[in-house]
Amino acid sequence: MNLKEKIDHHSSQIDSISETILSQMKAGASNWEMPWHKGIPEAWNPVTGKFYGGNNLLVLWNECQKNDYPTNHWATFKQWQRARSGSKVRKGEKGTLIMFAIPRAAFVRKKGKKIEQLNFEFINKEEKEKAKKNFYFRYFWVFNVAQIDGYDLSQSSLFDQMATDLGRLKTFVGKTEAPIKTGGDRAFYSIVEDFIQMPEMARFKSYNGEATRTLNYYSTLLHEIIHWTGHKDRCKRQFGWKFGDNAYAFEELVAELGGAILTTQFNSQPMPRNDHAVYLNSWLKVLENDFSYFTEALELARASIYWLYQKTDILPFDLKPQYGREFSEERVKNWEVLA
């Protein structure tokens, strides 16, 4: 496959995914079952220790759903070969195409050493066009760990063997140092007073008979913690927040995606919140006009999660540097126009 074919193939993957997500959102108004509620964690490379982001995350997440892969771990052919002695891509397996934008400065050498630079994820074609002066675009075929022979999956679990331990989730929440008040009949984050309000755990119910009230409670709490990270002293995402307005609807999408990703990292499935269905029409109006807002919300959510990983030091491996997408007031103003 030549470069043009790779570019076209990668673009068609994104277009197909956007159509799938939009169709699922349209169909989910009655029962609020969105594609990100499937319990698939953030895509991760167990060889480099880095998370995949942007459109790459959407592509790999989609491939996990399509192929029923149980684990969202990916690496290139050569990376799997050097990951562990004897590990290799199974004969006949097909790779998934992803794209990286690598700063040109990364290719400048000083004293024979390559300067460390971060990979950068673009959310739309306009960003990519503007960045051509400063970035090289490289396409790679990656393979899921389910396509690999000779690799012991148990050794590459994100949270090691404690992944399903509720105690680790409680430890994570405590280490965030988020102020949490208990009481009342609804969960929310107070922007003005900078605290999270949570009802008593006994008020939460199981979801479709599958999840305990405890998991439902923590799924909701992680959503509110993502809101909490938006404060000006943390991830600086507070612009035009007023409950029920269009700017707040964008923030709700950020928290919806961030809470879902965080929940799955603890081997739990995020619980759909019926009150979020009220935002569905607003989201659809915008995303049908400009789906890049979905990727942008996803990247802002990932920036919050990265901040929380740094704050809590919860990962069992060294956290690799990650580009943190900055919040754009101009983009949110345009979201309000589209909505």
Express each pLDDT in 219-234 by its tens digit: 899 999 999 999 999 9
Q: Are residues 322 and 333 in the same domain?
A: yes
Residue 297 pLDDT: 92
Residue that is last in its domain, among 107, 134, 156: 156
* pLDDT per position as a tens digit, 71-99: 889 999 999 988 877 789 999 999 999 98
pLDDT value at 157 more than 60? no
Q: Using alpha carbons, select from 67, 84, 63, 83 the residue that is nearest to residue 75.
A: 83
What are the distances in angstroms from CA 335 to CA 128, 273, 282?
20, 23, 9
Residue type at position 309: Y
Integer Rg of the chain from CA: 20
* pLDDT per position as a tens digit, 93-139: 999 999 887 777 665 554 455 545 455 566 777 777 777 777 778 89
Q: Are residues 45 and 73 in the same domain?
A: yes
The C-alpha angle 328, 231, 101, rounded to 5 degrees, equals 40
Q: Are residues 121 and 234 in the same domain?
A: no
Mean pLDDT of the chain: 82
pLDDT value at 147 more than 70? yes
Q: What is the largest CA-CA distance in the chain?
A: 62
CB atoms within 10 A of CB 315: 15
CB 115 within 8 A of CB 105: yes
Residue 75 pLDDT: 95
Q: Are residues 144 and 166 in the same domain?
A: no
CB 227 within 8 A of CB 192: no
Residue type at position 165: D
Q: Are residues 173 and 314 in the same domain?
A: yes
Tally of domains in the chain: 2
